[in-house]
Amino acid sequence: MIETLTKEREALIPVVRDEWINCLDKCPTLQRTACIDGILWLYNFSKLEKPQIMGVKSPLAAQYLANILQSNVRDNVRANVGDNVGDNVRANVRANVRANVWANVGASVRDNVWANVGDNLEYFNVSVTGSLCDFGWVAFYDFFDRIGVDLKNEHFSKIRSLLRSGIYDSIQLSGLCIICEMPKEIHRDEKMRLHSNLGPSIGWQDGYELYHLWGVNFEKPLWAGVTSRSISPKEIFELKNIEQRMAALKVIGIDKVLDDKHAHTVKKSKRGNELIKLTGIFRQPKYCLRYKCPSTGREYVSFVSNKAGESGDPDAAMASKFGLTKEQYQTLELES
């Protein structure tokens, strides 16, 4: 029984972590034989009938194909794995891989696919086993397997082989499994968020692609307007999605948008809240606040009502954003 990690074993932690993250980032070509063998094993293990297996090039194509075929029975397939855990490896392998693979990529892609399926089509749930979302826990147990821990589970290697075959995701139905290949390209920033100001942040062989700036999703026309810097200050401030607004301001530069021609600082408080009056952008003057999130240090710009702005008090204006009085706001240690 292994109760402590030697220096050699600790050194293996980042190696295993990076190997599994690279299973996505290096966009491997699908090994069809290994993938099909893994799917057939998964169905057999789950006591389901042998499925017809069909391959597509993107997760959106998988949804379209599922809708065309209109299967009536949907069975979620689950694998049975051991439950041997260790806090150090959990923090440095499983959680890290899951964050950098599923949370920063898989969830964003899923939401976009869901939105693009539209109201006229049915969204089919993707697999709960044998896809990108498994990378975290499989990386965790892979580490223990490689240092000689007996996992006491003969099925683990089957799941690991399936994931290493280059499968991105699948829709697992009764008698049918639609498998999706890895993307052809993926671009991320230093925090592992989907990001590119030169082209799609992630794209598949069939032309399905997504655009992100620092993890924030953009439709292509809006992304093009931001990255080409052809978007106007008015258009930026009218973006309803505050994350898109802040990403756009980061590209353009807040100071360039809030220049002396259009923006005048009314007052900046000791808490760092800056009340700004905008003129010449909208039909009527508007007020906004520039402030930093205390927990992340990220700078934000958001509108406040003209009533709050005309008070001339940035802290009172900030309080109004939260439905608080200035006195209540001043009792807060942090706000975001």
Domain that holds residue 307: 258-330
Under the banding of pLDDT at 50, 70 and 90, the label for residue 94 is low
Model pLDDT for residues 246-261, shown as the tens digit of each residue = 899 889 877 777 776 7
Same domain assignment for residues 59 and 195: no
Of 124, 158, 182, the last residue of a domain is: 182
Model pLDDT for residues 141-191, shown as the tens digit of each residue = 899 899 888 888 788 889 999 999 999 999 988 888 999 999 999 999 998
Question: What is the overall mean pLDDT for the chain?
Answer: 84
Of 254, 277, 312, the last residue of a domain is: 254
34 part of a folded domain: yes
Q: Over pLDDT 90: what percentage of the chain?
A: 43
61 part of a folded domain: yes
Same domain assignment for residues 46 and 126: yes
Residue 278, classed as helix, strand or coil, is: strand
Same domain assignment for residues 130 and 264: no
| Cβ atoms < 10 Å from Cβ of 43 | 21
Tokens 């639609």 correspond to: 178
Of 182, 206, 234, the last residue of a domain is: 182
Torsion 261-262-264-270 (CA) sign: negative
335 part of a folded domain: no
What's the Cα-to-Cα distance from 1 to each of 103, 138, 144, 148, 259, rounded to whole Å? Answer: 33, 20, 11, 10, 65
Model confidence at 4: pLDDT above 70: yes
Number of domain units in the chain: 3
Q: Quote the CA–CA distance of 124 and 117 in Å, as a whole number.
A: 10
Q: Quote the CA–CA distance of 259 and 257 in Å, as a whole number.
A: 5
CA atoms within 13 A on the CB side of 323: 0
Same domain assignment for residues 23 and 138: yes
State residue 119's pLDDT score.
66
12 part of a folded domain: yes
